[in-house]
C-alpha cells in the first residue's frame, strides 16, 4: 500500500513537470501567433520543445504511451488503450 | 488532423463528492459560453478568416478541447460516487432520470447545447469581436462559479481556466490590431 502511494506520487510529480513545460509551450504558441518576430520567444519555444520530448520519453518508459497515432512507441502487448485515463487519476 | 495526448492540460483534483457544484459546472461544458461552444466557434471560423490569424484560431480552438476535458473530469469526479438521492438533492434528479451518471452537453439549467450559441459572420472583425466577447463571458462565468464553490482543490483548477480566458481575449485583441494594420497598409500603398 505504502509502496503504491509513493509510486503514485512519483507519477504525479513527473506528470506535473510535463504539464508545466507543455503549458509554457501552449502559451508561447499563442504568443508567437501574434508576435512571430520575437527571437527570444522562438528560442525559448524550441528549447522547451526538446525538454518536453525528453520528459515524455522518461514518463512513457515507466507508465506507458502518452501520444496517440505513433507519437509514442508501443510496448507489447499493445498498451496505448490501457487505463488509467486522465480523468481516472 | 488532431492527436490525443493522454494527459490533462492542468491537474484536476476535487476534495469530495459534490453533485451541486457539478450542476453549476455543466454551464462550462455545454452552455452558451462554455468550452464546447468555444472550440467549435474558433475552429469553424478558421476557413474564412485572413491567413494572418488562422494559426491563432487553430491553436486557441485546440486548447479549448483540453479545457473541455478538464471540465468533464471535474463533473465526473464530483458526481461518480453520488447516490440517486444525492443527485436529486443537488437538483440533478431530472438529469439522473435521463442520463444516470453520464455527462451531457447541456447548460446548468438543463437546456441542450445548440449551434445558435456560436456565430460565424464571415467578416473578420465581426468574428474576432465575437470571440473576444465570448472569452470575457466565459471568464465571468468562471468567476461566478468560483464565488459559489467551497472546494479549494477545484477552485485551483477553475482559476487556471479563468486566467486562460484572459490570455485568449488578449490574443484575439492583438489579432484585431494585426488585421487593422494590414488593411491600413494595403490602402496606403
pLDDT at A1: 47
pLDDT at A5: 73
Under CATH, to which class is B19-188 assigned?
mainly alpha
Q: How confident is the model at residue A3 (pLDDT cuts 50, 70, 90)?
A: low
Give me the percent of chain B exceeding a pLDDT of 70. 98
* pLDDT at B87 > cutoff 90: yes
Judge whether B24 and B148 are in contact, CB under 8 Å: yes
pLDDT at B143: 98
Domains of chain A, by residue range, sit at 2-64
Interface ipTM: 0.95
* pLDDT at B184 > cutoff 90: no
Radius of gyration of chain B, Cα coordinates, nearest whole angstrom? 18
Name every chain A residue with its beta carbon within 8 A of the beta carbon of B168. Answer: 30
Size of interface A-B (CB pairs under 8 A): 66
pLDDT at A67: 98
Q: Could you report the per-residue pLDDT of A5-46, keeping only the tens digit for each?
A: 777 899 999 999 999 999 999 999 999 999 999 999 999 999
* A33–chain B nearest CA distance, Å: 6
Average pLDDT over residues B31-52: 98
| Contacting residues for A59 by C-beta, under 8 A, at least 6 apart | A14, A15, A18, A66
* pLDDT at B178 > cutoff 90: yes
* Catalytic residue annotation of B: 35, 64, 67, 135, 165, 168
Q: Could you report the per-residue pLDDT of B115-169, keeping only the tens digit for each?
A: 999 999 999 999 999 999 999 999 999 999 999 999 999 999 999 999 999 999 9
**For chain B, how long is the longest CA-to-CA vector?**
70
> A87 vs B175: CB contact, 8 Å cut-off?
no
> B167 vs A67: CB contact, 8 Å cut-off?
no
pLDDT at A2: 52
Bond into A77 cis (ω within 30): yes
| Residues on chain B bordering chain A, Cβ-to-Cβ distance under 8 angstroms | 3-12, 53, 55-56, 59-60, 63, 69, 72-73, 76-77, 167-168, 171, 174-175, 178
> How far is Cα of residue B185 from the mean position of the Cα atoms in its chain?
35
Average pLDDT over residues B99-104: 98
Mean pLDDT score of chain B: 97
- Candidate from B3, B10, B12 with C-beta closest to A23: B10
pLDDT at A4: 66
Contact map slice: A 6-65 vs B, CB within 8 A:
12, 15-16, 18-19, 22-23, 26-27, 29-31, 33-35, 64-65
Q: Three cell numbers at B85?
A: 438521492
Amino acid at each position: 500500500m505504502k509502496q503504491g502511494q509513493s509510486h503514485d506520487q512519483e507519477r504525479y510529480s513527473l506528470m506535473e513537470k510535463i504539464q508545466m513545460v507543455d503549458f509554457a509551450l501552449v502559451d508561447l504558441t499563442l504568443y508567437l501567433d501574434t508576435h512571430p518576430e520575437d527571437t527570444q520567444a522562438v528560442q525559448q519555444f524550441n528549447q522547451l520543445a526538446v525538454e518536453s520530448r525528453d520528459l515524455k520519453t522518461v514518463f512513457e518508459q515507466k507508465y506507458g504511451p502518452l501520444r496517440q497515432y505513433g507519437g509514442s512507441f508501443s510496448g507489447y502487448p499493445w498498451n496505448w488503450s490501457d487505463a488509467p485515463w486522465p480523468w481516472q487519476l | 488532423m488532431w492527436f490525443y495526448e493522454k494527459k490533462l492540460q492542468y491537474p484536476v483534483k476535487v476534495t469530495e463528492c459534490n453533485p451541486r457544484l457539478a450542476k453549476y459546472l455543466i454551464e462550462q461544458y455545454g452552455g452558451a459560453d462554455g468550452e464546447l461552444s468555444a472550440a467549435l466557434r474558433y475552429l469553424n471560423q478558421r476557413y474564412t478568416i485572413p491567413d494572418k490569424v488562422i494559426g491563432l484560431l487553430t491553436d486557441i480552438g485546440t486548447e479549448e478541447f483540453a479545457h473541455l476535458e478538464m471540465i468533464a473530469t471535474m463533473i465526473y469526479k464530483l458526481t461518480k460516487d453520488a447516490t440517486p438521492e444525492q443527485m436529486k438533492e443537488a437538483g440533478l434528479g431530472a438529469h439522473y432520470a435521463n442520463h444516470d451518471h453520464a455527462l451531457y452537453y447541456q447548460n446548468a439549467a438543463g437546456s441542450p447545447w445548440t449551434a445558435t450559441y456560436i456565430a460565424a459572420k464571415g467578416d473578420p472583425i465581426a468574428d474576432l469581436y465575437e470571440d473576444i466577447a465570448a472569452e470575457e463571458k466565459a471568464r465571468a462565468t468562471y468567476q461566478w462559479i468560483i464565488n459559489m464553490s467551497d472546494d479549494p482543490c477545484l477552485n485551483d483548477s477553475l482559476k487556471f481556466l479563468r486566467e486562460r480566458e484572459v490570455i485568449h481575449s488578449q490574443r484575439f485583441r492583438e489579432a484585431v490590431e494585426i488585421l487593422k494594420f494590414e488593411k491600413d497598409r494595403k490602402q496606403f500603398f
